Amino acid sequence: VRAPAAASEASTDDGGRFRLELPAGSHELEVRRPGYVVAREDEVAVPPAGTTEILILLDPAPIVEEELIVTPSRLSLLREEPAAPLALSREDILALPHLGGDFFRSLSLLPGVISNDVSAEFHVRGGRPNETQILLDGQELYDTYHLKDYDGALSLIPPATLESVDLSTGGFSVKHGDRMSGVLDMTTATPTGARRTRLGLSLLSLEAGGSGTMAEERGRWMLQGRRGSIDLASELLGNEDPKYWDAFGKLDLQITTGDTLRANALHGDDELEISEVVDGEVKEISTDYSSSYLWLTHQAILGRKLFVETAASRSVIRRDRRGLELEEDVQFDITDLRDLEILALKQDWNVNVGTSHYVKGGLNLREFDMRYDYTAFFDFDNPLAVIRKNAEIDTTAFARRFEEDDTGFYLSDRFRFDRPLTLELGLRWDQYSLPSEDLFSPRLNFAYAVGEQGVLRLAVGRFNQSQRPYELQVADGERSFGSVERSDHYVLGYERLFEQVGGARGVAVRVEAYHREVHKPLPRYENLYEPINTFPEVEPDRVLVAPGRSLAEGLEVFVRGSHGAKLGWWINYTYATTEDEIDGVSFPRRFDQPHALNLDLDYRIGPRWTVNTAWRFHTGWPTTPLSLVEEVDAEGEVVFVPTLGRRSSKRVADYHRLDLRASRRGQWGAADVLFFIDIQNLYDQANVAGFDFEIDEEEGTILPNTEYWAGILPSIGIRIEF
């Protein structure tokens, strides 16, 4: 039983009784128990003296899964989960420092997750960002970020709408297919009680929304909208003026006791206009991106043992990206138009065979319709351009339509032999029409209870990922799709909860080792030195990476504890390697960081104030040395040619920074008020972002000008709910 605003909680005894010490006033209580629907009681009045008695009834969940989680590599965010001692509650994750109220930016504090200072995109255990499946209320999101011209600097998801988030970084179940690194599964809040209105203002956005019930609480609705504000963009993005907005809506209808119909809609839009003429150099950029999702979900409880969920969706994603630059070392003119439509239908069955036996199955159908219209002209007067892939090509044009039908089917059987041992066997089959392949993905998950407080978990499985029609790198000259990538996961983990004296929350420890091998990884294009580019395909440091095999291995240690009700902390350390093998030689990937350490300290100053500090450290990312080699040209003259050294054979300086977030909860009349101050990079550490080279071909010298991530980034915001 928890009172979130008062930062107070208690557990019931065997008879269901509890006692909670709260200050006088009106409070909201939240009650959770495994196997039951979460209950909330609004406006519980506590007098200045005496006690208030309250009776709370919990409704059983339609399908009760066992408390023991089978799959490893899983963290539950934004909610408490008694079966997962390392879960982070909603208050925990929202208290973490994160620029602009974007909780995606706090994910890099978790083990196995990597991101840079500008982007909200993240890499799971060294994989590409598109290897992680991102779900919102069961719907896969194919385009999840705002400010795409700046490496996806903010996510599309309004944080105020979320109730819970589960992050799986490996060994996930067969329900999830066609992505091979991880799953980020987000669930929006379910409104209860009277209508609520939310208003929020920060340096990066203005938001407004509301939620409530209708038809005697048989209907529930939620609306949320955000409009981008760029007061902070001069620090983060430079003197440019991007505009963005998004909107989310949800309507739940309880048709009968066992039938629920839900409609969701999500839309995001971005625009950027730049027109500059300085000393004869011209720069004109015009981009417009939009993403729209509409999905309907029907949930049916058929008897006491069967739960069926059916969902149909339509997704439309459009890109209009145009740029013209006439500068001393590069001239280009690009028009990039793309239109994507996706129709999808899926159904999942959950069967409670017995108290210790669960069978799940599902079918998903998906149809892609993708149109490309890309033209580009570019000319380099930059000596560094000789390292480019296809440096001699100066024009490209591509216009084509691709259609693909995907079909997937999965079946899993989870059963418990006795109390210590739980086993899940799963098999998935996927068929792709564009590469004309159909593949099976067997997976095994194993959990063994070690005593009362420990769990040993093992996961072994095959994970496939296709190159979807919208993922063709046409700007780099790709014209055909590659084979389906195949990844094998081996994960072994152990968790243990060491209780403190008196039954208070103790120290939870998770140790996990993983090995992931990717067969036939797709070739990809990367910029070696410049981290952020609006038009990366025309940069002189653009190179092709075509590995024959990729390998990721690591050991993660996560420890979490608390001291009383005020002080909470956690620490995680990762030792990992992520490598590509090219022509029999292994090279570290761009985001390889052998050592990573994250520390978080959360302190509650009284019932209102919370201060959270987060410190990050990781080994410097790899870079490729560049030198000038003396050669004799066709006219017999000596020239100096930029030449790459061994790929990823050097590293930039180690990375570290300290972030702080202070927030205060209070009341203003009948309104709940949340005020926060967020400071990124508190001690102004100059962390290396990349390099801009100055090359003197006549003198035979090369000078790397180091570029750094942003220094101190302060942010402030307020949210009012009434």
Residue ranges of alpha helices (H) inside 464-545 are none
Q: Look up residue 355 and give its DSSP letter.
A: T
CB 581 within 8 A of CB 547: yes
For residue 431, the SS3 value is strand
CB 373 within 8 A of CB 475: no
Q: How does strand 182-188 pair with strand 132-136? A: parallel
For residue 667, the SS3 value is strand
pLDDT reported for residue 77: 65
Instruction: Write down the pTM of the prediction.
Output: 0.88
Beta strands in 32-73 (DSSP E): 39-46
Low-confidence residues in the chain, pLDDT < 50: 62-68, 81-85, 231-232, 234-235, 501-504
pLDDT reported for residue 328: 79
Helix H or strand E segment including 90: helix 90-95
- The closest of 446, 576, 468, 493 to 124, measured between CA atoms, is 576
- The closest of 666, 686, 658 to 608, measured between CA atoms, is 666
CB 483 within 8 A of CB 464: no
pLDDT reported for residue 690: 92
Distance CA 160, CA 157 (A): 9
pLDDT reported for residue 594: 97
pLDDT reported for residue 264: 98
